[in-house]
A and B are shown apart, each in its own frame.
Chain A
Amino acid sequence: MTTPDDAIVVDNIHKSYGDLRAVNGLTFTVHPGEFFGILGPNGAGKTTALEIIEGLRKPDQGSVRLLGHNPFPRTVALLPRIGVQLQASAFFTKLTAREQLETFAALYGIETQRAHDMLDLVGLTDKAGTREDKLSGGQRQRLSIACALVHDPDIVFLDEPTAALDPQARRNLWDVLRAIQARGKTIVYTTHYLDEAEILCDRVAIMDKGEILALDTPAALVRGLDAPTRIILDKSTAPRDLPGADEVTEDDLSVTITTRAPALVLTALAERGALDGLQVRTATLEDVFLHLTGREYRA
């Protein structure tokens, strides 16, 4: 599957901190122009994996090719082509949002105007003159993303970019990321939000305890689960004896019908005029995670 012009080729990388195996044998490739997500709970090893790929850490074992180069030790020719947002924002002390971007732009030899465009892109124009330590958590996050994008890199690494963002900012960032992808750039990002990854990513790797449990398109992962559909109804309106229902459970307020033939059940419900307040739940990546680990997913 590996082709010479793959953006990223990760081959069996390992990294231990003492006895702790933070990354334990990851192998995957990311294609040019792909939106690639790494998912997993706290401590899964996402940041460690990302930092090995970026060239910030040396793997104990295994190899990485980033745009055809070995990222470790530091390869200066590679650096203008990658943009990195670290999980903990790294800002120059006491500089304003605009000055941070101008400084980063200058480090890459980019003109100042681009720095101002980036502020606009992440919606921080009105915070341009605010010092780094006076920004809110989400504003810092957005500034940090802008700093990663300022030199228009070919591959963008974002470590939990949507953490700490309010729903509006999250949506705006989705648009920004989609626009970047539309220009042919490759995006690798980590997140705790499985629903978000399902919407954004071309492919996702689900990680736990330093290993990849599954890697595919979100749709394929969910389909592979072959999970039943759940239909939830208000208790008062729920009819009995529906065709196609595999299992019916009820609590104080609602009735949940589990079915592998949702069309049959829904048709029957429509015939009986019982569609009011109805919810249909198909499997999500959370179910995939639950299935893979036997644990409930907790972000």
Chain B
Amino acid sequence: MSPFRSLSTAMVKSFIRDKATLFFAFVMPLMFLVIFGLLFRDIGSEKIKIGVYGDGAVITALDRSGVVDIQRFTSLDDGIAKVRAGDLPGLVEATGDNVVLRFAASNQAQAGTVQGLVAGVTQQLNVAESGKPPKYDFRAEQVEDASLKPIQYLTPGILSWGIATTAVFGTSISLVNWRRKQILRRLRLAPIGATTILTSRLVVTVGVALAQALLFIGIALIPVFGLTLSGTWWMSVPIFVSGVLAFFTIGMLVGAVCKTEEAATGAANIVVLPMAFLSGTFFPIDQAPKWLQAVSQVFPLRHMNDGMMDFLVRGKGPQALLLPCGVLLGFTLVVAFIASRVFTWEDS
């Protein structure tokens, strides 16, 4: 076996023999994915409910539109009571040619939507009835899935976060451990170069990240979770690689600075936790306040997140590679340079 392969094998063995590491790398992110995936499964796909009393062309058209759930009432008073109680945003009363919409002003947003809907449907029918071709042509076209189903943003988010956490913790703690246990010193006495040690560590980190990606995406694709990958999912590979590189070098820096495993754990947490919360791991970042979105731009995890999302689920084109890859690789270069400055083979 070559020195490179034997070192990589040694690292993989100590990785898979450590139950705690395995848990944090695979089980915990998976738990988040499963819990959030199931919890938020139906959010966003829910239709607006609307009460109806009576019958006629308007009601039929509303039902066919497919954007509302219709609940029929046989008594007008029952329906109005429901609207009053806030259970329904509105009630359409259709008797003959009269269409009356009753709504509660307490839920303005939904009431507005319902008004627009009912008015729109009614106008359409009016135009059709008049026999004239409509002057203004109106079409609705979907440009992109702005409001993704939760699993669509949870998967890239939790995947990026899991990879980042494992790369930073795994790299930093094993570096500290090897230094403290004098393995690095002992390796200095073997006829191998520093690059052999570094690249074998990097290859192991990439391998672990790949295993995480396959596992998380594989689970999310199961119908209960219902992830649908976009056609350009394979373009997320460069994002994945530059992301792993960025977090590998951050781990190197943490491991170079810290003297003990405890210190490395603490430092890695300080680096990773704020990123995890502010980079859109658990909720879409574009729902956050503007200033927070601005702040989150400094985090490499934010860019890995965005990049993974753009290709895994949003189906963006190659030009979307530039920003995230550029930022992540730039990060890698800067951090790697600093890490190489502070690195020592042994404690003084």
Residues of A within 8 A of B (CB): 54-56, 74, 76-77, 79-80, 82, 84, 86, 88, 90-95, 99, 102-104, 106-109, 112, 131
Q: Which residues of A contact B188 (CB under 8 A)?
A: 56, 74
Q: Which of the residues A79, A93, A103 comes within 8 Å of B191, measured between beta carbons?
A: A79
Q: Are A109 and B3 in contact (CB under 8 A)?
A: yes
Q: Does any Cβ of A come within 8 Å of B82's Cβ?
A: no
For the complex of A and B, the 8 pairs showing the least CB-CB separation, nearest first, are: A106-B6, A90-B186, A90-B182, A107-B190, A79-B191, A94-B14, A93-B14, A94-B17
Residues of B within 8 A of A91 (CB): 181, 183
Shortest distance from the beta carbon of A291 to any chain B beta carbon, whole Å: 36
Report 26 cross-chain contacts, Cβ distance below 8 Å, ordered by A residue. Answer: A56-B189, A56-B346, A76-B193, A79-B189, A79-B190, A84-B189, A86-B182, A86-B185, A88-B182, A90-B181, A91-B183, A92-B183, A93-B14, A94-B17, A95-B10, A99-B13, A102-B1, A103-B7, A103-B10, A106-B5, A107-B3, A107-B7, A107-B187, A107-B190, A107-B191, A112-B1
A95 vs B10: C-alpha distance when bound (angstroms): 7
- B228 interfacial contact with A, CB 8 Å: no
Contact partner, A106, options B3, B18, B178, Cβ 8 Å: B3
Q: How far is it, in angstroms, between the C-alpha of A79 and the C-alpha of B193 when the chains are bound?
A: 12
Quote the shortest CB–CB distance from B348 to chain A (angstroms).
Answer: 9
Question: In residues 1-37 of chain B, which contact A (Cβ within 8 Å)?
Answer: 1-3, 5-7, 9-10, 13-14, 17-18
The reply on B192 being an interface residue by CB < 8 A is yes
B2, B5, B185: the one contacting A90 at CB < 8 Å is B185
Judge whether A82 and B189 touch: CB under 8 Å.
yes
The verdict on B177 contacting chain A, using a C-beta distance below 8 Å, is: yes
| B contact residues vs A (CB 8 Å cutoff) | 1-3, 5-7, 9-10, 13-14, 17-18, 174, 177-178, 181-183, 185-193, 346
Which residue from chain B places its CB closest to the CB of A92 in the assembled complex? Answer: B10
CA distance A214 to B209 in the complex (A): 59
Kindly list 16 other residue pairs between chains A and B, CB separation below 8 angstroms, not including A103-B9, A106-B5: A56-B185, A76-B191, A77-B191, A79-B189, A84-B189, A86-B182, A88-B182, A90-B183, A93-B177, A95-B10, A95-B14, A99-B10, A102-B6, A103-B6, A103-B10, A107-B6
Q: Are B189 and A93 in contact (CB under 8 A)?
A: no
CB-based contact B185/A106 at 8 Å: no
The residue of chain A having its C-beta at the shortest distance from the C-beta of B193 within the complex is: A76
How far in angstroms is the closest Cβ of chain B from A169? 22
Nearest chain A residue, comparing its CB with the CB of B345: A56
Q: Which residue of A is nearest B187, CB measured? A: A107
Are B14 and A107 in contact, with the CB atoms below 8 A? no
Residues of A within 8 A of B181 (CB): 90-91, 93
B189 lies within 8 A of A95 (CB): no
Q: In the complex, which of the residues A103, A104, A106, A109 has the most CB atoms of chain B within 10 Å of its own CB atom?
A: A106
Instruction: Select B190's contact among A77, A94, A99, A104, beta carbons within 8 Å.
Output: A104
Q: How far is the CB of B300 from chain A (nearest CB, A)?
A: 28
Residues of A within 8 A of B3 (CB): 106-107, 109
Determine the distance from Cα of A95 to Cα of B187 in the docked complex, in whole angstroms: 16
Measured between beta carbons, the chain A residues less than 8 angstroms from B9 are 103
